[in-house]
Structure 1
Amino acid sequence: MSLALQDPVSALAGVGEKRQAALRDLGIFTIEDLLTYYPFRYQDLGERMPSETLDGEKVTFKGIVSTPAVVRRFGKKSQTVLGLLIDRENIRVTFFNQPWVAKNIEVGQEVAVYGTYNASRAALSAIKLVPATTNALDPIYPTTKSVRAKTIADLVEQAWGLMRGQMPNLVPAELRKKYRLLDKNQQVEWCHFPSDKAEAKAGRRSAAFEEFFIFQMRLQLIKQADQSFGGQALAYDNQAVQAFIDQLPYQLTNAQDRVVGEILADQKTAQHMNRLLQGDVGSGKTVVAAIAMYATVTAGCQAAMMAPTEILAQQHAKSLAKLFASAGLDLRVELLTSGLKAGQRRQILADLESGEIDIVVGTHALVQDDVYFHHLGLAVIDEQHRFGVKQRSKLREGGMNPDILAMTATPIPRTLSITAYGEMEVSIIDELPAGRKQIITSQMPNRQFDQALALLQAELAKGAQAYVVTPLIEESETLDVRNVTEVYQNLQAALPSYTVGLLHGRLPKEDKDTLMQGFKDNQVQVLVATTVVEVGVDVPNASIMLILDADRFGLAQLHQLRGRVGRGDRQSYTVLVADPKTDYGKERLKALVDTTDGFELAQKDLELRGAGDILGTKQSGMPEFQVGDPVKDLTMLTIAQQEALTLVREPGWDEEVDNRALVAYLSQTMAQFRHFD
């Protein structure tokens, strides 16, 4: 039977329409997909003596069948019992619900049986008979309800028997030699059919590097394609930009100064800018973006800023207008959201197209089909993880291809930076503005809630304001957490001298806006809220936050919430009220108490959760790797990134004979490669 790697898996014996559909759910479409669908672990089927085996351990015993196999039936269930003589010791072997075993063995026959050993009873609870040809390590594959691991193993064995030696090398020979990686055919064989743990380890090591390398090659090609659009060399007025910086009410930190330089340098070149600006909550990303937008306007272009929520868009529009006005600049800043009245929206769209608006701030309303710019030079995207590539590419349509500055206050550990944001240049603001005090964080059990409330009252007495955050809106029968309405009512009773507000996602937009404005104006002193305050609420007078049932929140979310306080001159506090019941919950809260460094917390979060828990999820933006673990294998991931970057920078790399298979593979798969979607 003559097959090719790109033939559908249905070309194999035993794969009908139903099984083909089930394999498709696992991402297996072709024979090559099947052969690179590697096991995620191995069962050790190596033979041992009973005297070498611990109680409860899985093991393979090899011996002579000493008694006939007897089948005992209990309704639909059965037990098949036999004796196995191993070097003068007789072991009782029991197969559950496998009556056919009795027909396949007879007294005096040598057999190998894999199962769980009960040392006190000298008995083996058998899982399966082990054929004489079986490797010492049995591969275990990721499966679904529709496909058994044994089915995949049998198909892999069939495919490898037909395709052995035909796998093309995707990692160039020079890199395989440099990092002691296996030839692709040996890699596939040792991953699926290892004779020992050393072979399995070597096979998976080579497969992991290949996986990381291919991924990084795709990112580099995306970056090249992005830059091939041709950016705009903005001839901004350097003196005017410097004068604006000098007019700011505060001096830029060294980190802000550094990233401003990186962004302005990008804007000056004709190469398209695609830069990610990372900075912890309160580090001053918005003023950096304001400088870049003003530079764009001095070059005769427009700037746009996209925010994930209307509250945040409104806040940005007001703060930008105020910042430019305080510097004596006559810039027109407008807000474009879905909440505008039809007449207002028509006027803003007309003025945007004619060029009368310098800077527009909005939500997804900015990327609707009826929005046209006169000359868009820069698009700033706040909270980058909330926008997909489609929204970003929408801003590039019309041939203007504006520079992109994406911002995130969600600190990204190096692992994510290399994977999820690998096609972007990265700038980091890694220091807080001068005079900003560290937030003091503590944890209290629920029984000490009165102490937390006393601390909150002490802050209110000083004229400060407070947040109280809770996970749920309504009472839950399954989760023992206090709901926001109950907390609101209790605090109203406990704090009669103060105005307490209630904010949650189900409130009408007008009510939310009114309440938030009242909180900003100190007409509301205590804001009881769900996580809607996580992003975009900026009240410098708020100095304390109580987070109830804090163990119900993720680490990154807790850090974001904490960032709502500490935005003014007051010493600020966050109190985590919780009784975590799991080690993970305890570790999470301890990490938050121990440090306010968002980047350190992000790495800790990744380590605590494990890559398997977040890979492929839209929230994280992490790509899914089958073999490599980007957290544990960070060094390998970094090397793969460096080598991919080095290769694509070599003139004519894609015409080299040694790279033909790699180029062909990338050409075939780039169309299916989705980044940020």
Structure 2
Amino acid sequence: EESDFPICLCGEVTKTSLRRFGGWKKIFEATLQEPKSNVLSEPVVCRWFNLHYVQKMIATGQRLVVFGRPRLRGKRICMDHPEFEVIENDEEISIHFRRITPIYPATEGISQRVLRSIIYRLLNEISDELLEAPAPVDLVQGEKRDAIRAIHFPESWKARDAAREHLVLSEFFAMQMLIASRRSESSTRISESHCGSGTMLDKFVNALPFELTGAQLKVIAEIRRDLAAGRPMNRLLQGDVGSGKTVVAIAAILLAVESGFQAAFMAPTQILAEQHYTVLGRWLEPLGIRIALRTAARQEETFLPLIAGDENADVIIGTHALLYDTVSFSNLGLAVIDEQHKFGVAQRARLTAREPAPDTLVMTATPIPRTLTMTVYGDLDVSIIDEMPLNRGKIVTAVRDNSKLGEVLSFLRTQLEKGRQLYVIYPLIDESDKLDVKAASAEYELWRERLRPEPCELLHGRIPAPEKQGTMERFRRGITKALISTTVIEVGVDVPNAAVMLIENAERFGLSQLHQLRGRIGRGEHKSYCILLTSDKSKETAAKLAVLERTNNGFEVAEADWDLRGPGDLLGTAQSGLPALKIGNLKTDAGLMRRARAAAMSIFATDPRLELAENQRFRRLIVEQQGRTFSNVS
């Protein structure tokens, strides 16, 4: 009977015919019937108009599957131009039709039908070695072979969901075993107590012109317990932009130095390393602590040699240069790594690969969704500063179209007249022929004219280090009122009077990066303003920028970023040293990740070296996972 929706029918071709009409036009008809079927008890006439190749493919006696919309034409049920498949054998029916059918990513030159048949045959040839149970029986249900078959050719949606859960748990368990092995290996390394009496720390805290927040005090107590434990600390310190992580790091450094050890402080950029050098020097040198700075490799133009005796400094601050063999520590007890996500797990290991093992504190101002802390940072204990200092000004964020630039300029001039300072941020240094994006160098002279007589300066990564340092110092002192810059100021730059930021081509930046940039303002008592300028009217850009208008909370921004972009970009697999996920989704499968993590931690709690016979398969699993990690981890 007639249907408003396309349907799928399977039957035998009982008759074919070719009819002509209108002179040269042809209709090929194939009558399909299946007497034993309730659906095809009446014949259905399939018709193709002027498609000569169809009559060469269909013959009487063949079995055919068709997909189309049946219509009543006189006394006949007809289906015009249906999609069709000729059935060669019963196995094909079981694979391709009357079931939940898998659709695979397109492969050039191979049809879905052929690819499906190949996979169906290969499923019967999987070796037993590849089917070794990868997870404990109390974590996953059923056999791996059955799960692999059901994920491709499930008998029901329930069977498909059960198969997927089995495979996701197995995948997550393998990842968590690798992470747990790192934790176990670290905990068994030889270390010493790096926690002094706290006399220096008390002097430092008492000299601060502000009170530490409750969150800062809680984290300092957690770090203090780790330093005194006699096993290596491996702690991740999360805190939003401007939450006071540096003060907590200084507290850790003071405890280590007071106990007779050195501290290393590694930052991702030269500007940030120099700023930490200035800030730490301001607080630590009055306490008699010696500080050295090292910011580049010897072969680079920006190489800054350690002066005689600096290798014995109490605190050495630097960039990736601290990883080089030319930097030697006489007695390293603590390594602080700022903006951890900009370094790889192998770089972290290289800095701390010495015996006795130093304590490690890694910090990030890019809040991390909770599920990611179980993966990328799963080998670390986590501390969170979830409280902002009371003396910070409010930040107002506004999205403006390029057509409103005149109004924006008027607002900026008003703020400069009030004595505030301004950042203008561009995504590029120089103009690009391929991208319709403004660049800092090209726009710099224009801004000098726009803001005259207020002094402006240009800052980007290709400016020689001494000039960069001079530019930043003049801006800090308030001599320069506006800084035209790229994202080189993204992290760490602290100028309390800089209360206004304009970001050009805001659509070109990631959500977390925009939040990081915004964190350069609002660091003083003044109300601050971040203006996101864009000409992009897409829904994606509107949704992204609306998040920043809605909230200043970095943890909310991180979750929204994950919702908008997905976990792939955030995971940073190459940086983490973890294998890429094939099936699991870190966000939607967070509950399964927690179950896998609990199972892995339980195994290592009872057998830290995986020496028991029943755990040998897990030892092989870890070796296999290590082999799959990216070769470009650095």
Task: Report the TM-score when normalising by structure 2.
Answer: 0.86
Q: Deviations over 1:47-80 (max 9, x none)?
A: xx972635xxxx643234366599xxxxxxxx99
Partner in structure 2 of residue 171 of structure 1: 135
Note closer, same or farther for the CA distance 1:659–1:127 as it changes in structure 2 (3 Å cut).
farther
* CA deviation after TM superposition for structure 1 residue 95, in Å: 12
What SS class does the counterpart of residue 278 from structure 2 fall into? helix
1:97-176 → structure 2 map (5 Å cutoff): 105-113=58-66, 122-124=79-81, 126=83, 128-129=85-86, 131-134=92-95, 136-142=99-105, 153-163=116-126, 167-176=131-140
What SS class does the counterpart of residue 527 from structure 2 fall into? coil
1:188-337 → structure 2 map (5 Å cutoff): 188-325=148-285, 328-337=286-295
What SS class does the counterpart of residue 626 from structure 1 fall into? coil
The question of whether the paired residues in 1 share the 8 Å contact of 2:3 and 2:70 is answered with no
What SS class does the counterpart of residue 333 from structure 2 fall into? strand
Q: Which deviates more from structure 2 when the two are superposed, residues 537-546 or residues 513-522? A: 513-522
Is the aligned partner of 1:404 residue 2:360?
Answer: yes
Partner in structure 1 of residue 443 of structure 2: 487
* CA deviation after TM superposition for structure 1 residue 432, in Å: 1.0
What SS class does the counterpart of residue 132 from structure 1 fall into? helix
Q: Deviations over 1:638-667 (max 9, x none)?
A: 222222222321248946665453343334
Residue type at the aligned position of 1:569: E
Q: Distance in 2 between matches of 1:435 and 1:513?
A: 27
The question of whether the paired residues in 1 share the 8 Å contact of 2:294 and 2:304 is answered with no
Q: Distance in 1 between matches of 2:190 and 2:107?
A: 45
The question of whether the paired residues in 1 share the 8 Å contact of 2:62 and 2:86 is answered with no
The question of whether the paired residues in 2 share the 8 Å contact of 1:213 and 1:641 is answered with yes
The question of whether the paired residues in 1 share the 8 Å contact of 2:579 and 2:628 is answered with no
Note closer, same or farther for the CA distance 1:630–1:110 as it changes in structure 2 (3 Å cut).
same
Partner in structure 1 of residue 322 of structure 2: 366
Note closer, same or farther for the CA distance 1:499–1:352 as it changes in structure 2 (3 Å cut).
closer
Note closer, same or farther for the CA distance 1:346–1:322 as it changes in structure 2 (3 Å cut).
closer
What SS class does the counterpart of residue 423 from structure 2 fall into? strand
Q: Which deviates more from structure 2 when the two are superposed, residues 437-446 or residues 284-293? A: 437-446
* CA deviation after TM superposition for structure 1 residue 340, in Å: 7.8
Residue type at the aligned position of 2:293: L
Q: Distance in 2 between matches of 1:107 and 1:592?
A: 66
Identity of aligned residues (%): 36
The question of whether the paired residues in 2 share the 8 Å contact of 1:438 and 1:572 is answered with yes
1:484-523 → structure 2 map (5 Å cutoff): 484-523=440-479
Is the aligned partner of 1:90 residue 2:45?
Answer: yes
* CA deviation after TM superposition for structure 1 residue 253, in Å: 0.6
* CA deviation after TM superposition for structure 1 residue 281, in Å: 1.0
Partner in structure 1 of residue 21 of structure 2: none
Residue-pair matches, total: 606
Q: Distance in 1 between matches of 2:143 and 2:609?
A: 20
The question of whether the paired residues in 2 share the 8 Å contact of 1:538 and 1:564 is answered with yes
Q: Distance in 2 between matches of 1:127 and 1:231?
A: 71
Note closer, same or farther for the CA distance 1:584–1:269 as it changes in structure 2 (3 Å cut).
same
Is the aligned partner of 1:557 residue 2:513?
Answer: yes
Q: Which deviates more from structure 2 when the two are superposed, residues 121-130 or residues 220-229? A: 121-130
Pick aligned residue for 2:3 from 27, 51, 66: 51
Task: Report the TM-score when normalising by structure 1.
Answer: 0.81
Q: Distance in 1 between matches of 2:289 and 2:68?
A: 76
Q: Please report the RMSD computed on the Cα atoms of aligned residues, expressed in angstroms.
A: 3.4
Q: Deviations over 1:21-69 (max 9, x none)?
A: xxxxxxxxxxxxxxxxxxxxxxxxxxxx972635xxxx64323436659
What 5-or-longer segments of structure 1 have no aligned partner? 1-48, 71-78
The question of whether the paired residues in 2 share the 8 Å contact of 1:187 and 1:204 is answered with yes
The question of whether the paired residues in 2 share the 8 Å contact of 1:334 and 1:360 is answered with yes
Partner in structure 2 of residue 61 of structure 1: 9
Note closer, same or farther for the CA distance 1:454–1:618 as it changes in structure 2 (3 Å cut).
farther
Note closer, same or farther for the CA distance 1:643–1:192 as it changes in structure 2 (3 Å cut).
same
The question of whether the paired residues in 2 share the 8 Å contact of 1:534 and 1:557 is answered with yes
Q: Distance in 1 between matches of 2:28 and 2:557?
A: 55
Q: Distance in 1 between matches of 2:380 and 2:13?
A: 65
